[in-house]
Structure 1
Amino acid sequence: MRRPPDRPRTCWPACLTPANATANAIAVKVPDVPPALRPADGSRLVLQVHAIGVQIYECAQAANGAWEWQFRGPEATLFDARNAKVGDHGAGPFWRLEDGSRIVGQAKASSPSPTAGAIPWLLLTVKSRSGTGGLDPVDAVQRINTVGGVAPPAQECVAAATGRTVRIDYTADYLFWGSTPSR
C-alpha cells in the first residue's frame, strides 16, 4: 500500500476523525469552493480524509459510434491526518470506513478543478448507507483538492483498443458533511 505523500493540506493539523469531529470542526480550513459544491446550510463537517488511488477507464464504443474512454470507477485508500488507513473508496461511488460504516453517493454538482490535468471537484449526496459508525451522520460528500485522475487522450482509444482498461493515479480530499454533529 502506498503511503500518502507529505504535503500541506488545507486542514492540517486538524484533519478530522469521527471521534473528534465536533470538537475540531471549527478549526478546519477548507478551500473556497463554488456555490454549487457547498453542502446544505447548517451542515457540519463530520470527517475529512485524504485519498490515494486510481481512476479506472475503459476504451469502449459510445452510442454515437465514437470510441471513448468510459469511466468505470475509483479505487482508493483513505487516510487520516496521521497517515493511518481509515477506509477505502470504490465504484458506486462508495466510501467505507474501518469501523464498518459505508455510504454510497450520487453526484449532485461538479466544477472543474483549479489544478490543470485533475479530475473535477464534486458534491455528492448520500443515496444509501449500511453498517454503523463514523459515516452515520453524513448527508453529503465533497471531493476537493484533486490531482491527476484524468482519462488518457481520446486518440488512444480506438477499435483495436476495445476493452483496454487503464488505471490513472489520483489524489483528492473528501469532506463528509452532516446535518447533525458526530456522536
Structure 2
Amino acid sequence: MLIRTALATAAVSLVAACGSMTPMMPTYSQAGLPATVQVPAGNRVALETVGMGDITYQCSAKKDMAGQFEWVFVGPDAKLMDRSGKQVGKYYGPPATWEAMDGSKLTATQLAVAPNMAG
C-alpha cells in the first residue's frame, strides 16, 4: 500500500562557494525565505528552483514485530522549476539527488526544508 503526499517545496537551492561563481550570475534575494533554508554567509546561491511532485511512504510490516505495521519513507520524486515555470531538473532519492536537465547531478545531505509558502 502506497500513500503519496504532495511536495511543493518553497525553494531548493544549490549552493556554491563564491570563488567558483562568475560575476555575471544573477543575484537571488533570500529575504522572503525562512532562515532554515537560507544560504549561509560566505556562500552564494547558484541555482534557485521550486520542486513540485511527490513524497512517497509505504506501509510495511515492522521488523521483528509480527502483525504490526508502520509508514516507511520511500523517497521524493519532484520536478524542479525555475522562476518562469520551466523545468530545469529533478529531485529524487534517497540519497537526496538534484539532477539538471543535462544529466549533471549533485548528491548531498538535505539539511533543511521549509513549508510551501505559496499556499
TM range (shorter): 0.5 to 0.7
Structure 1 residues 67-78: aligned runs within 5 Å: 67-78=69-80
Moved more, 84-93 or 38-47: 38-47
1:145 to 105, 115, 118: 115
Structure 2 residue 101 is matched with structure 1 residue 88: no
TM-score (normalizing by structure 2): 0.64
Which residue does the alignment assign to 1:55? 55
Which residue does the alignment assign to 1:152? none
Structure 2 unaligned runs (5+)?
1-7, 12-20
Contact 1:21 1:45 in 2 (8 A): no
How many pairs were matched up? 98
Aligned CA RMSD, in angstroms, stands at 3.3
Q: Percent sequence identity over matched residues?
A: 20
Q: Distance in 2 between matches of 1:103 and 1:74?
A: 15
Structure 2 residue 106 is matched with structure 1 residue 103: yes
Q: How much does 1:38 deviate?
A: 5.4
Structure 2 residue 42 is matched with structure 1 residue 42: yes
Contact 1:21 1:47 in 2 (8 A): no
Structure 1 unaligned runs (5+)?
11-17, 110-121, 123-142, 148-170, 172-183
Taking a change above 3 Å as real, the CA distance of residues 48 and 102 of structure 1, as seen in their structure-2 partners, is: same
- CA deviation string 1:129-172 (max 9, x = no partner): xxxxxxxxxxxxxx33337xxxxxxxxxxxxxxxxxxxxxxx9x
Q: How much does 1:68 deviate?
A: 0.8
